[in-house]
Structure 1
Amino acid sequence: MAADTPYTTELPHRVAVTGTSGLLGGALVASLRSAGCEVVRLVRHPPRAADEARWDPTGQDRAANVTALAGCDAVVHLAGAGVSDRRWTARYKRLVRDSRVLGTTAVAEAIAAQTTPPRVFLCGSAIGYYGDTGDRPVDEDAAAGQGFLADVCQDWEGAAEAARRAGVRTVHLRTGLVASRKGGAWARLFPIFRAGVGGRLGNGRQYWSVISIADHLAAMRFLLQAGNELSGPVNLTGPTPVTNREVTRIMGRVLHRPAVLPVPKFALRIVVGQFTEDIVGSQRVLPARLTTAGFTFQHPTAEAAIRAALD
């Protein structure tokens, strides 16, 4: 399904979305509205607009969370502290974990408390679940890996248990590297490469699983459709992971800039600390369940995704 396919008659009527100030959440709100959906933006502050409803990601104000989801046919939970926004101090790692686990628990319990629960719950996750896979391709049947992000993803997905027990179709969106110039890691990479000082990270042999933001949005809409029966983990990555070395070549080619200066691992560690291990780690992740279900990517290659981000 192309990203611009209208799904108006197949999508839920009323959808609650968390994380709407982020790259994916904000884009999803616009996408769903363009398809004719009524969207409720869950916010932590007192509502300032008619489409906002307050929720408490700590779960302490359970009544507010239950009220916020009343009458919703679907819930998409994308809120969480940015993984690459700051250095990984012990305090920030705790924030990364708690913002996901506590927030997901709060949403899942509010879903389970509904008199008429929504029919589908899309909950954010990440391909960090698989840890470092080297050059070994993995799909949704692969076991969890090791490391901080892998542990966080396991707890994150486990926190949705209340919604599953309530009989709500629950999908874990194991998101890869979303190519966009408006946010995320790519928004930082593009200016570096435009300046002609971009290059491979570490040895460049690590695999990156890239997806365009258009395909990510289309995949979420695909998963929201009434006739879709997918549940459990779903990898939101493009079908052709490539090495960081190849991404570097693509960036140089697309931006018409040299891309020959490698960034050594020790220099990355000085800048971002422990997160270095995940930057130079390899994740060759395939979207097997999406592909089997009949989803068609508009940007199936890393180069197509990167060019779309710059279009």
Structure 2
Amino acid sequence: MYQQRYLITGGSGFIGTELIKQLLLENHDVTVLTRNEVNTAKHFAAVMDAEREDFQTKAKVKTISSLDSINPDQSFDAVINLAGQGIADKKWTNEVKQQLIDSRIDTTKALYEFLNEALIKPEVVISGSALGYYGVDATNESINENGDTDNSFSSQLCQQWEAEAQKIEALGIRTCYLRTGIVLGKGGGALAKMLPPFKMALGGPIGSGKQWMSWIHMTDIVGLIRYAIEQESIIGAINGTAPVPVTNKEFSKTLGKVLKRPAIFPMPEFVVKLLFGQMGEELLLAGQRVVPEKVTQAGYRFKYANLESALRDIV
């Protein structure tokens, strides 16, 4: 297999860790932009040690804390921009909102400046975004990559993020904006926060339970990223979701079924608003019925198109 060269931001996050693990197992060359080179190197050393005994003789990440440390004549086959503070980690104060914006915009802007000066441009850039792009949707209509935006914070955040990445596309580089849904995987993400109460038979729908949850298995979000890199016809927005979204009520029922626990204890809307504020209103009480039309038409085949099979694989 041809050894490819990747530059990745946000590499030690939930998606980035799994993506880089797969790339290293195939002996690709991976450079990670990180604020803490030592901790990131230790993180991936531990990840890879858990995968194989002969890690020291195989590929491992190269870490950098600044894009300025890359020589202008160094080339990469693909750049994957996953940087950004977790959007559901904290209540959205004005300070946290600014941190969410800065952590995405600043890194994307730095990437543009680096690529503008690079003597050899990458073939493709995959730049992160999220389903929040489509705003607080209250309809049951399916949304493809041409869906509308609104004035909610999550939508404005994603619009700014993608607008910054569009400057990269203007350099003549094929650029994709990965609008990621709720990623389901082991050891992190939304499911890690949901499992404890459900395992104790205290789980249930949030609010009315009618809001849509557009989810995707970790295997497929990583697979989708790699497919988009390989397929030159894929450009612009990509919905990173499984083809069959479900309502929050259906998600809760299915998770309870997989865990063999009842899922009958709802979290009332007023409790969500009290505990999580605007973040809860936009991310927990609202939802969008998003479908991955572009990658499906391009021929990507999902390994986990069904929620129950996805949850059974994970839990």
Counterpart in the other structure of 1:114: 118
Distance in 2 between residues matched to 1:105 and 1:67, nearest whole Å: 18
Question: Could you give the per-residue CA deviations for residues 185-229 of structure 1, whole angstroms, max 9, x where no partner exists?
Answer: 11100111111100100000001001000011110111111x432
Distance in 2 between residues matched to 1:163 and 1:132, nearest whole Å: 28
Cα shift at 1:28: 0.6
Distance in 1 between residues matched to 2:71 and 2:188, nearest whole Å: 31
Distance in 1 between residues matched to 2:204 and 2:20, nearest whole Å: 34
Q: Is 2:238–2:294's contact at 8 Å kept on the other side of the alignment?
A: yes
Structure of greater relative contact order (alpha carbons < 8 Å, 6+ residues apart): 1
| Partner amino acid, structure 2, of 1:213 | M
Identify the range of structure 1 (266-275 vs 41-50) with the bigger mean alpha-carbon deviation: 41-50
SS of match in other structure, 1:160 = helix
Q: Is 1:210–1:305's contact at 8 Å kept on the other side of the alignment?
A: no
When residues 102 and 69 of structure 1 are mapped into structure 2, their CA distance, relative to the original with a 3 A threshold, is farther
When residues 301 and 63 of structure 1 are mapped into structure 2, their CA distance, relative to the original with a 3 A threshold, is same
Counterpart in the other structure of 1:4: none
SS of match in other structure, 2:203 = coil
Question: Could you give the per-residue CA deviations for residues 112-164 of structure 1, whole angstroms, max 9, x where no partner exists?
Answer: 21100111100110010001222121000112233000000000001113321
Cα shift at 1:93: 0.7
Unaligned 5+ segments in structure 2 are 42-59
Q: Is 1:87–1:272's contact at 8 Å kept on the other side of the alignment?
A: yes
When residues 285 and 252 of structure 1 are mapped into structure 2, their CA distance, relative to the original with a 3 A threshold, is same
Cα shift at 1:67: 3.8
Cα shift at 1:105: 1.0
Distance in 2 between residues matched to 1:78 and 1:248, nearest whole Å: 28
Is residue 275 of structure 2 the alignment partner of residue 271 of structure 1? yes
Counterpart in the other structure of 1:59: none
Cα shift at 1:69: 9.1
1:181 to 167, 178, 186: 186
Question: Could you give the per-residue CA deviations for residues 1-35 of structure 1, whole angstroms, max 9, x where no partner exists?
Answer: xxxxxxx45xx710011112211011110111223
Question: Could you give the per-residue CA deviations for residues 48-87 of structure 1, whole angstroms, max 9, x where no partner exists?
Answer: 757333244xxxxx634x5499321111010110001111
Distance in 1 between residues matched to 2:37 and 2:201, nearest whole Å: 45
Q: Is 1:14–1:38's contact at 8 Å kept on the other side of the alignment?
A: yes
SS of match in other structure, 2:158 = helix
Matched residue pairs, number? 294
Q: Is 1:111–1:117's contact at 8 Å kept on the other side of the alignment?
A: yes
Counterpart in the other structure of 1:165: 170
Q: TM-score, normalised to structure 2's length?
A: 0.89
1:53 to 60, 63, 72: 63
Cα shift at 1:269: 1.8
Q: Is 2:73–2:120's contact at 8 Å kept on the other side of the alignment?
A: no
Q: TM-score, normalised to structure 1's length?
A: 0.90
1:233 to 237, 262, 281: 237
Counterpart in the other structure of 1:97: 101
Is residue 87 of structure 2 the alignment partner of residue 83 of structure 1? yes
Unaligned 5+ segments in structure 1 are 1-7, 57-61
